[in-house]
Amino acid sequence: MPEISLPTEIQFVKGVGPRRAEALAMVGIRTVADLLYYLPRRYLDRSVITPIGALRSETAVTVIGKVMGKGILKGKRQRLEVMLGDGTGYIALIWFSGIRFLEKYFSKGEIYAATGAVSYFQQLQMVHPEMERMEDDDSELIHAGRIVPVYPATSELKETGLTGRVMRRLVKQTLELCSERLPEPLPRALVQEHGLAPFDRAIRSIHFPESAGDIETARRRLAFDELLELQYLILRMRKKIRSAGKMEKYQPPGNLLGRFVKQLPFQLTEDQNKAINVIVADIQKERPMHRLLQGDVGCGKTVVALAASVFAAENGYQAAFMAPTELLAEQHYRNWAEFLNRLGIKAGLLTGSLPGAEKKEAHRAVASGEAQIVFGTHALLSEPVKFSRLSLVIIDEQHRFGVMQRGNLVGKGRHPDTLVMSATPIPRTLALTLYGDLDLTTIRSMPPGRKPTRTVWRNATARPEIYKFLKEQLKTGRQIFFIYPLVEKSEKVDLQAAEEEYERLKKDIFPEFRLGLVHGRIKREQREKAIADFRSGRLQVLVATTVIEVGIDIPSASIMVIEHAERFGLSQLHQLRGRVGRGTEAGLVIAIATPPISDMAKERLELFRSSSDGFEIAEADLRLRGPGEFFGTRQHGLPELRIANLSKDDDLLPITRHIVTELLSDKGLDSERQNLLGYLMKKASLKKYNLQTG
């Protein structure tokens, strides 16, 4: 068989062919390199071979023996029985399905490895064990007698016969046919300095480890490479951003920004004032600002962003303020349009659900420059939207938008300044990883006067007592949010649906009170009316989905009930909690969990109950769920981390960042580092990540 190499197309590997190649392409495997990076999702330790004579019932083992006999037995259910012996005893291997085919598979005298659970029914037996035929007693085991890799499976792979067994054989064969050693991209000195396994050994060990220690050693080396590639993408983008010049020239802050601050109905905190000063100074520089403003729920990021927008308007430019939901964009516009108008600044609103005539007028006002600060959603990204003098882009709840979307909005101007905001405090390791292209400003202090919100969690069996308590609270004039995870009931997911529960609560639980419903599929007019009625007190209970998670501000609402709280992440629960306790009354959150409740869900709910510190919660959420779930890394246009674990590999981040910084420094590089830079450039170009910077 001809030698194959990493770029070889997968269909030319023995046992694949065009049909299987199509199925493999659906899981991202198009070349030999892709196959070798299709890593096991877990491992089964079958490394201990147990003599049949030592078997005990209710154990999972691997045995090796010779076929002593076989036959299809009649009874209530026909079954194939194969008797396996190894000189110490015998065990019956039983199959109830596919028995005619399987009967032809076994021949007397052949040697097999069998892996499965041992049970006892008249004799020792294994039902539907996993089998591997041995050429002889010394055959190397791939599927048994060792730590066995288990690969991610899809229906497309199974339909073409690419079972776990076939995938293991395919990977094993490919590793054997690859050239003597897989090429090492890292300089030898780096491998030695950081105690890393050589690349060739890491790839072979991650698939077929000799021990559990081999798995972690291999994983860490591949995690190092993955983080190195990620840091290259981020720092290359940062370098590109820093090299761009901007067209707009700014005068120092004048009367308008000062009037904005003075006329606010509240006093800015020290952190807010510092953040405004840093951002305004950044905007006046010759290079475009790219800054992340983060802080806990309710710390006052929006007013800081508005101050930056007023500074842009003061200099004759436009600001675009993009929010993740129509609800939030509408709220920003409603809260600030009149205030800004009194300063002589015209605000605009642009969302997807605006009626045709209003949308057309909004487009005109934006294009002419009449609308100086434009609040909106993804609608701001649409092709018809043209800005006259866009100089500042603000993106609220940045983690809900991808890098590509950020780039599209930035592209509406000529290298405008960019301010992205997050109310999900980001652990520093994750901030450096996902936002290495951004400078970081953090607001830690909270506005004075905010009372702490009390949090409890209860089992669903406590609902009757909870409802009784809530009725008493409603009678005293308090208002309540009810949060549900779905809009309509799904056949696949048995969660309470907002619409069904709204009807039940209205008719059966709170018939004497006034209830409203808000979710993403409700028409804009209905949604606005429900929010307005709740804000004014005409509604006492608002049933909603997580559409209200971000930014909605109704100070009179002081109680929140979160149904199916076990299904939410910690940071999302904390975001929801931030919607109450914004007024004169202390907030109360009741999280209701529906059994079965996993140990991890219980730990999450206990942390939610005991801590109200968003930074502490963010760190815990990262630890419990990992970065992909915590922060939706898929949305960033960056490669999803498949190997590295940021809570486990955080020590590798500064190392890989330092290496890439040196590679991109334009200083003289030796041949090995030049090769590494070329390797990273090639990988980035092949994968075409969506890292648009505008």
Residues 305-358 have pLDDT tens digits of 999 999 999 999 999 999 888 888 888 998 899 999 999 999 999 998 888 899
Q: In the predicted model, is pLDDT for residue 220 greater than 90?
A: yes
More confident residue, 360 or 48: 360
What does the pLDDT read at residue 444? Answer: 83
* pLDDT tens-digit series, residues 275-297: 999 999 999 998 889 888 988 77
What does the pLDDT read at residue 472? Answer: 95
Determine the longest span between alpha carbons in the chain, in angstroms: 96
Q: Which residues contact 105 (CB under 8 A, 6 or more apart)?
A: none
CATH topology (fold) of 48-145: OB fold (Dihydrolipoamide Acetyltransferase, E2P) (2.40.50)
**Secondary structure class of 306 (helix, strand, coil):** helix
Q: In the predicted model, is pLDDT for residue 461 greater than 60?
A: yes
Is residue 635 very low, low, confident or very high in pLDDT (cuts 50, 70, 90)?
A: very low
Is there a contact between 533 and 541 (Cβ–Cβ < 8 Å)? no
What does the pLDDT read at residue 690? Answer: 39
What does the pLDDT read at residue 435? Answer: 63
Residue 369 φ/ψ, nearest 5 degrees: 90, 0
Pick one of 3.40.1180.10, 3.30.2020.10, 3.40.50.300, 3.40.50.2300 as the CATH number of 267-443. Answer: 3.40.50.300
Is there a contact between 449 and 460 (Cβ–Cβ < 8 Å)? no
What does the pLDDT read at residue 490? Answer: 57
Cis peptide before 324 (omega within 30 of 0): no
d(CA 321, CA 333): 10
Q: In the predicted model, is pLDDT for residue 577 greater than 60?
A: yes
Residue among 340, 333, 282 at smallest CA distance from 314: 340
User: Can you tell me the mean pLDDT for 259-269?
Assistant: 92
Question: 12: which DSSP letter?
Answer: G
d(CA 624, CA 608): 13
User: Can you tell me the mean pLDDT for 359-371?
Assistant: 94
d(CA 121, CA 658): 63
**First CA to last CA across the chain, in angstroms?**
49
What does the pLDDT read at residue 630? Answer: 43
Least confident piece of the model among 172-176, 186-190, 404-408, 654-658: 404-408
Residue 404 φ/ψ, nearest 5 degrees: -65, -40
HSE of 148, CA atoms in CB hemisphere, 13 A: 24
User: Can you tell me the mean pLDDT for 209-232?
Assistant: 91
d(CA 410, CA 393): 6
Q: Which residues contact 678 (CB under 8 A, 6 or more apart)?
A: none
Residue 654 φ/ψ, nearest 5 degrees: -65, -30
Least confident piece of the model among 224-238, 616-630, 645-659: 616-630
pTM, full prediction:
0.64
The structure tokens listed for 274 are 């510092």
Is residue 233 very low, low, confident or very high in pLDDT (cuts 50, 70, 90)?
A: confident
* pLDDT tens-digit series, residues 434-448: 666 678 888 888 777
- Which amino acid is residue 106, in one-letter code? F
* pLDDT tens-digit series, residues 60-90: 888 888 999 999 988 878 899 999 999 899 9
User: Can you tell me the mean pLDDT for 35-39?
Assistant: 89
% pLDDT > 70, the chain: 86
H or E element that contains 77:
none
User: Can you tell me the mean pLDDT for 32-39?
Assistant: 88
Is residue 694 very low, low, confident or very high in pLDDT (cuts 50, 70, 90)?
A: very low
H or E element that contains 470:
helix 463-475
Q: In the predicted model, is pLDDT for residue 511 greater than 60?
A: yes
Least confident piece of the model among 238-247, 277-286, 450-459: 238-247
Is there a contact between 694 and 407 (Cβ–Cβ < 8 Å)? yes
Architecture in CATH of 454-611: 3-Layer(aba) Sandwich (3.40)
